[in-house]
Amino acid sequence: MADALTLTDVLAVVVRLLLVMVAFLVLPLLVGQAEHKAMAHMQSRVGPMYAGGFHGWAQLVADGVKFVQKEDVTPAAADRSVFRLAPAIALLPYLVVMIAIPLGPGLVGQDLDLGLFFVVAVMGVGVIGTLMGGWSSANKFSLLGGIRVAAQLMAYELPFVLAAASVAMAAGTLSLTGIVEAWQPWWLLWQAPAAVVFFVAGLAELQRPPFDMPVADAELVFGPYTEYGGLRFALFILAEYAGIVVLGALTTVLFLGGWHGPFADQLGWLWTLLKTFAVSFLVIWVRVAYPRLREDQLQRLAWQGLVPLVLLQLVLTSVVVVMTR
């Protein structure tokens, strides 16, 4: 009897992990395809139209096949093991983060009591992958890109974490499920500055335009990714899109109320997914609409804009929490 129970437990864990894996493989591709098409139409183009027959739906599959066929080149002067490890380091944290993100009531890979802490900590690791790529490539453009990554990480990790802390303080828990359960619609207004800061800082951590100075292709060729090609390059790109999904999901869970919505008991997962996609679309939209910031503007925005703003938000949050409890 005891054996059977553990077997079902193991099965449940396996099924959960498989679902997370499927989500990890499918959602970034959906976001990538949405970016192809939305960006094209925002620029009066049509985007991919041929791959797969109907409006180029299989474009990213075709891209993947192309990347797999390419030669795996490691520069002669590169730090070989670090160079080869970097794409995995960049990609895996997002997979790990997805385990802790709740999709609906009770629908979560693994509910952690320290979920928020875990998620923010692991997401910081993803940037290390880019940093490793920049350092080990033995290329001055890569190195410059890597230094920019480091500067960006330093500047934006702080407001990112403080914005998340504001929500945790409001909800009184670090568990992501607990935060969604404690969420109320009026938090949209109360936590709005934190939401903005969280989103902007997340964009900067993902090195998405307008915060893509590390890969600024006009100045640095492709920054830390300059020497990468084939599958390793594809992994870096996949990491970027997985990052968008994770950022969208985290913004949803922390600030937009996760599964809250009509029929939340049955359709909670749908609400979470919809909100995640809405945030992901915003990420794409912002990329098309705004030009890249300069390096000094980026630093000024972080230290003179976001950090004071989120500190004020923390004060506001703590005052309201103390007064209402």
Partner 1 sequence: MSFPGRGLLKGLAVTWRTMTRRSVTAQYPDSPPELPPRTRGVIALIEENCTVCMLCARECPAWCIYIDSHKDVVPATTEGGRDRSRNVLDRFAIDFSICMYCSICVEVCPFDALHWSPEFEYAELDIRDLTHEKDRLREWMWTVPAPPALDPHAQPAKELGAAEKAAARTASPGRTASPGGGAAGRGAAPDAPGGD
Q: How far is the CB of 192 from partner 1 (least distance, A)?
A: 13
From 2-10, 45-53, 117-125, 264-272, give the range in contact with partner 1 by CB under 8 A.
45-53
What separation in angstroms does the CA of 271 have from each of 102, 105, 239, 254? 12, 11, 24, 14
- First-to-final CA distance of the chain: 47
Give 49's Cβ-side CA count (13 Å radius).
Answer: 5
Q: Using alpha carbons, list the distances in angstroms from residue 96 to 20, 27, 278, 325.
A: 9, 15, 22, 35
CB of 40 to partner 1, least distance (A): 7
Between 43 and 304, CB nearer to partner 1: 43
Q: Output the smallest distance, CB 44 to partner 1, in A.
A: 5
Q: Which stretch binds partner 1 (CB under 8 A): 43-51, 98-106, 183-191, 309-317?
A: 43-51
**Cβ neighbourhood burial of 184 (10 Å; 0-12, 13-18, 19+):** exposed
Among 11, 22, 43, 65, contact with partner 1 (rule: CB under 8 A): 43
Single out the segment in contact with partner 1 by CB under 8 A; choices: 35-43, 62-70, 84-92, 120-128: 35-43
Q: Is 42 one of the binding residues for partner 1 (CB under 8 A)?
A: yes
Q: How far is the CB of 43 from partner 1 (least distance, A)?
A: 7
Asked if residue 46 binds partner 1 (CB under 8 A), the reply is yes
Between residues 117 and 285, which has the closer beta carbon with respect to partner 1? 285
In the complex, least distance from residue 49 CB atom to partner 1, rounded to whole angstroms: 6
Angle between helices 59-69 and 230-255 (to 10 degrees): 140
By beta-carbon proximity to partner 1, the closer residue of 44 and 69 is 44
Task: Find where tokens 């990491």 sit.
Answer: 239
* Three-state secondary-structure class, residue 272: helix
Binding mask 49-78 for partner 1 (x = CB under 8 A): x-----------------------------
Q: Is 320 in the site for partner 1 (CB under 8 A)?
A: no
Which residue, 198 or 233, is less far from partner 1 as judged by CB?
198
**Quick one: tokens of 126?**
């993803």
Place of tokens 């049509």: 46
Is residue 38 within the footprint of partner 1 (CB under 8 A)? yes
Smallest separation (angstroms) from partner 1 to the CB of 283: 12
Among 13, 45, 73, 266, binds partner 1 (CB under 8 A): 45
- Within 8 A by CB and 6+ apart from 52, the residues are 58, 59, 61, 62
Listed ranges 106-114, 174-182, 259-267, 286-294: which one lies at the site for partner 1 (CB under 8 A): 286-294
Task: Measure the CA–CA gap between 30 and 207, rounded to whole angstroms.
Answer: 19
| Cβ pair 124, 113 in contact under 8 A | no
By CB under 8 A, name the one of 21, 30, 40, 270 that touches partner 1: 40
Task: Map tokens 């910031």 to a residue.
Answer: 293
User: Which of 222, 269, 285, 303 touches partner 1 (CB under 8 A)?
Assistant: 285
Half-sphere exposure of 221 (CA within 13 A, CB side): 14
The smaller minimum CB distance to partner 1, of residues 26 and 289, is found at 289
Instruction: Please state whether 70 falls in left (phi above 0), alpha (psi between -120 and 50) or beta.
Output: beta
Q: Tell me the sheet residues that pair with 107.
A: 104
The stretch among 27-35, 141-149, 199-207, 285-293 that binds partner 1 (CB under 8 A) is 285-293
Residues that bind partner 1 (CB under 8 A): 38, 40-46, 49, 285-286, 288-290
